[in-house]
Structure 1
Amino acid sequence: MEESDKTLKKSHRAIDLYSGVGGWSFGLRLAGIDVVASYEIWGPANETNFKNNAHQAQTVDIRRLSLDDLPSDIDIVVGSPPCTQFSYSNRGGSGDVADGLEDIKKFLTIVDHLKPTHWAMENVPRVAKIIEAELESGGELHRFRHLGCETHIVDMAAFGLPQRRKRCIAGNFSFERLNSFKKRMTAKTLGDVLQALGTDPVVDPLYGVELPRDELTEHHKEDVLSDEEARINRANKTTHHIYNSMPFPDPLDRSVRTITATCTRVSRESVVVRSGDEGDQFRRLTLRERASLQGFPITFQFYGTSYGQKLRMIGNAVPPAFTYLMGKVLVGTGAEEPVDLCKAAVGVSQPGPKPPATPPDKVGSQYPEGRTFRFAIPSLRLKSGVRFEFRNQKQQDLTKWQIQFYFGTSKEILDLQLNDDLKKLLLAGMSNTLGEVVKETISEIERYTKTVDFRNMQSVWSHRGPAGTRPFTYLDMLDEEGKALVARVEPHIDEATDLVNLALEDSYGASFLQLPGIKKLQRNAPLILSGLLIGASLNPIIDRRTSQQLGESPLSSRVS
């Protein structure tokens, strides 16, 4: 550690609980606070914290930490209890809120024991309402009401972080003072960070620290995304079968969306940028780019033993560019006093030795035999989960491909069976005029579908079998023909609405008008009718093609 690093003003003593790699500790240290100890159960994160912050970093299960082992005369307590249980509790109901509260209770127990002047705790946004509810009479946290806990949701992009990162910050600090920093921070963008890390020497976009390019670590660019990987990423972001669309690639002229702890080559969560200034090649971010967007200086080193460990370290951290401001708040910095991250970082240097190199993931050449394919047909998709999709599903010894239709809400997902019975129902209720309009398109896609090798499509998709029709090739055909059919049906919107109602009533009975989302289907009747006709016409053919190629009896046209 440089001498100028050691001479930072340290008049306030703090401890960092659930410290991870030391995001709180690093920011508070720059704010002139003496972080005398930190506590974390994950060894690699603790090593990272110790080497970057040069203070006592204890590897310990905080739930079992004895209060008698804590240092005395502590002015500030900070920390980030694990958010896993709270995150999952809002995504599928698999989280255990009661277990997550155990860490918050332990954090507050330590605050109550040490009686610091100020304390602050960071977590995911949904924790705010949980804390507020549990502080009420009869709640799990009611006995801590005297600690003066207030919860606030902040977007760290408003405080100069080049990332839209919403978090709950709870504590007894002055939120008004924190908000006063907003107007004094210069906004950075994803493009600013990428450009800064591409120079030689490299000048940190947030801290102003300078390094020769050959000393910059964790900046190895992985292989560009293959055409298939780029296609999947684009589809996951722009035409996801459930969630609303997001841009692809990620725009450079604004802050980046939230950096996460996991990141695969084909993921809706992955930040994807162009590889180079031109062309249609794309890549994911390097570890260093992710770390800079997360508010770490280019000198900060991550002592993980694998690429995945370092992703987790960076994504789970609290950004030190933000905790520096929190440190200023916790020591009572006035609204007009200097707040200069670059000045505070003067003298900060790389710790040693450097961590082991951890190469990123390689392009996959083979995938599991049961690799899933499930993508919305772009021209037959509406927002809020209303979509027609082409998908596969394993059934005993074969993989079945089908077009399916979903509507309703996230809490009540409904569907219609797209089969020969529905096709007959729609054609029987259709006027001769509309029948002639749709006949040409339906006949054309039926002819094409009769040439597709659905038996080997799964082998092609898992990169295991002989050449054949790729599922994305078939999806593209559905998209193109769907767009054409919608355009032909649109002039007949009244009849299309009646036919959509007919299909819904046949499946759900006379009370179909009470189903969620029906008005949306009626407003978009040409699109819905086109999708129903395509799916009901093609699913039986796909079924027969698969059965004929396997020499088996026809399958049911419904996928449960």
Structure 2
Amino acid sequence: MKVIDLFCGAGGFSEGFERAGFEIVKAYDIWAPAILTHNQNHGNGKEIAFRGDIYEISMLENEEFEKYIPDTEVIIGSPPCIAFSNSNRSGKADKTQGVKLIQAFLRIVARKMNKPNSKLRYWVMENVENSLAFVEDNYTAEDLNWPELGDFVLSVPQKNIFNMKYFGVPTNRKRSICGFYPELKELNGDKEIITLGEVQKALGKPAPLNYMNSSKVIIDPIYGIEILNRDLTDHHYVKEVPYFEWIKAKRQKQDKGYMGKMSFPENKDKPARTIMATLSGAARESMIFELEVENLREKYRFPTIREAATLMSFPIDFRFYGESDAVKYKMVGNAVAPKFSYEIARAIRKALNGKFSNDKFSVKKAFKEDISFTNLNGIVFELKKEKPKKFESKYSYHVPYLIEKAYRVGLENQFIDGEVKWKTKIHYSQGRNAKVYEDIFVNLCLYESDEILQIINFIKEYIREIRSFENLQNQYCKTFEDRDGLGPDELLNNIRDFIESNKGLSRLAFIKEIGKEISMKIITSYYLLENILRGLENANKNTGIK
């Protein structure tokens, strides 16, 4: 039974079908490292993956089209999902190119189905869940810009969202599956899922210095494949996440302000979060593991390529032919989870009355050793150095880890005629419920006399130390190592420490501009910031505190 894989990438979709006994006859992508990877892992030594623009192929005249897209029983594909991803401009990116590529895939399917005596029985398109909003139930010749289809209408009978963790994949990854395919049944419930910790235990700790002397046998937690530890590629190295990145990632994960908390480092008792295509250490989506060191200093590392690949359900002997960890990570993050693909293929095989059953679920791979392969094992990655920011760099954050009933106090900069200004605001909630309050009057009568004295002394101290808006910006633009004064992060941290040290601020007080009672922690944070900024703005004058 034959299959064509469109937008094949490194071959996650093909991997599942090939292990279920299908023959991949053609696969297309435009990225050279992915094509090489696909060919080295599939096809039993035959070159089956080629460089090809799917949109251009979908628009070829019939004779040429048939050369690129031969008759097969199954067509699979995963059009690039970046346009639809929530991580791309918070889901507000232009969808035009994404829709164009989905329609190119569907045009190919429609042309093969409309062909006399068509062999095509099933077709499956994978993408991120947001893409479903851009897939119609039916497509006419006009919709697909191919008049030769005549009155033929391509129906999309199934449009579903599945979570990979219920199909034996150790990751919490939701994907839309559209097309014509048999019913897919989940293999397991929440109690039987494979966790991050189980994967890490199976692979063992990265051992850059002594893995070559290890005769330990590694058993694939999904496929049961056995290989020697020293033969486990792209695993025995450590790439540390620098402090300036992980501290930002931690803040994004646990103190976003208007989004829920995420584990930092990753929770080993659950399936991994969605593997992204970008190897980042400073974002909310970053995947960060604890780095075990002898001293007590906090250190963290990126996942190895092998860890990421196994979490995506690639077999442990799958090789990624890229020159860097970033290239390999992109291949993994962009892929269709092979174990899920295998379950789709198995359902199709069953629907075809099991006419063939050469299942290769646990088969080991053989590679052409004359093809150059970059193994990351033993590579020493230099710790990334932070670069200074440009003076015009924007800043916007709130008093860290201080959110009371969805209220938070933010500090931000703005540039007017080349000069930097700083403002503080009270933010409430997010989305349609979001509100912003500024120029709020805070009556000192809300405080006890000893509290007033502490507040005034705090404000005076930080006006003296920071001195000016420009100094505050200059410190922000320096690296963590080069800062020799207070930047906005340090100021907000000190305000948080002041608030938390004054237990009496847990009470509520009514604020006219907001129209309700809110926490004195929020009120006081705003008052401190507002008056420090007023003092800095009038640094060359004899400024009192309002």
* TM-score > 0.5, shorter chain as reference: yes
Return the offset for 1:392: 4.6
CA distance in 2: counterparts of 1:263 and 1:374, whole angstroms: 24
Instruction: Say whether residues 1:59 and 2:51 are aligned partners.
Output: yes
Alignment match, 1:519:
none
Structure 2: gaps of 5 or more residues: 114-119, 206-215
Matches within 5 A, 1:140-539: 146-175=154-183, 178-182=184-188, 186-198=192-204, 200-276=216-292, 279=296, 280-332=298-350, 344-350=361-367, 352=369, 353-357=371-375, 362-370=383-391, 373-382=395-404, 386-393=407-414, 399-411=420-432, 413-418=434-439, 422=440, 425-427=441-443, 430=445, 434=447, 436=449, 438-453=451-466, 455-461=470-476, 462-463=478-479, 467-469=484-486, 471-485=488-502, 487-491=503-507, 493=508, 496-497=509-510, 500=511, 502-504=512-514, 522=516, 524-539=518-533
- Closer/same/farther in 2, CA of residues 225 and 93 from structure 1, 3 Å limit: closer
CA distance in 1: counterparts of 2:132 and 2:399, whole angstroms: 38
CA distance in 2: counterparts of 1:51 and 1:438, whole angstroms: 70
CA distance in 2: counterparts of 1:221 and 1:125, whole angstroms: 34
- Closer/same/farther in 2, CA of residues 397 and 443 from structure 1, 3 Å limit: same
- Closer/same/farther in 2, CA of residues 246 and 351 from structure 1, 3 Å limit: farther
Matched letter for residue 534 of structure 1 = L
Matched letter for residue 260 of structure 1 = M
Return the offset for 1:26: 0.9
- Closer/same/farther in 2, CA of residues 203 and 399 from structure 1, 3 Å limit: farther
Q: Output the TM-score relative to the length of structure 2.
A: 0.81
Return the offset for 1:377: 1.6
Matched letter for residue 473 of structure 1 = E
- Closer/same/farther in 2, CA of residues 473 and 183 from structure 1, 3 Å limit: closer
Return the offset for 1:329: 1.3
Query: In the TM superposition, what whole-angstrom CA distance separates every residue of 1:253-281 from its partner, at most 9, and x where no partner exists?
Result: 11011110112221211111211288432
Alignment match, 2:108:
110
The answer (yes or no) to whether the contact 1:380–1:483 under 8 Å persists in 2 is no
Could you say what secondary structure the match of 1:87 adopts? Answer: coil
Could you say what secondary structure the match of 1:426 adopts? Answer: coil
Return the offset for 1:198: 1.7
CA distance in 2: counterparts of 1:477 and 1:239, whole angstroms: 16
CA distance in 2: counterparts of 1:397 and 1:481, whole angstroms: 33
The structure with the largest helix share of the pair is: 1
- Closer/same/farther in 2, CA of residues 132 and 382 from structure 1, 3 Å limit: farther
Could you say what secondary structure the match of 1:126 adopts? Answer: helix
The answer (yes or no) to whether the contact 2:2–2:74 under 8 Å persists in 1 is yes
The answer (yes or no) to whether the contact 2:424–2:438 under 8 Å persists in 1 is no
Instruction: Say whether residues 1:119 and 2:119 are aligned partners.
Output: no
Counterpart selection for 2:22 from 5, 9, 33: 33
The answer (yes or no) to whether the contact 1:442–1:534 under 8 Å persists in 2 is yes
Matched letter for residue 466 of structure 2 = D
Matched letter for residue 3 of structure 2 = A
Alignment match, 1:18:
7
CA distance in 1: counterparts of 2:233 and 2:107, whole angstroms: 39
CA distance in 1: counterparts of 2:323 and 2:135, whole angstroms: 36
Return the offset for 1:229: 3.2
Which piece of structure 1 moves more, 90-99 or 18-27?
90-99
Structure 1: gaps of 5 or more residues: 1-11, 506-521
CA distance in 2: counterparts of 1:184 and 1:242, whole angstroms: 28
Aligned length: 503
Could you say what secondary structure the match of 1:96 adopts? Answer: coil
Return the offset for 1:354: 4.9
CA distance in 2: counterparts of 1:133 and 1:388, whole angstroms: 46
Alignment match, 2:72:
74
Return the offset for 1:111: 1.5
Query: In the TM superposition, what whole-angstrom CA distance separates every residue of 1:41-89 from its partner, at most 9, and x where no partner exists?
Result: 2222111111111341110111111332244441111000111222269
The answer (yes or no) to whether the contact 1:44–1:303 under 8 Å persists in 2 is yes
Return the offset for 1:105: 1.7
CA distance in 2: counterparts of 1:227 and 1:293, whole angstroms: 25
CA distance in 1: counterparts of 2:262 and 2:427, whole angstroms: 21
Query: In the TM superposition, what whole-angstrom CA distance separates every residue of 1:331-372 from its partner, at most 9, and x where no partner exists?
Result: 126999xx999x712333455435235666732243333455
Alignment match, 1:6:
none
Matched letter for residue 118 of structure 1 = Y
CA distance in 2: counterparts of 1:50 and 1:243, whole angstroms: 42
CA distance in 2: counterparts of 1:151 and 1:64, whole angstroms: 26
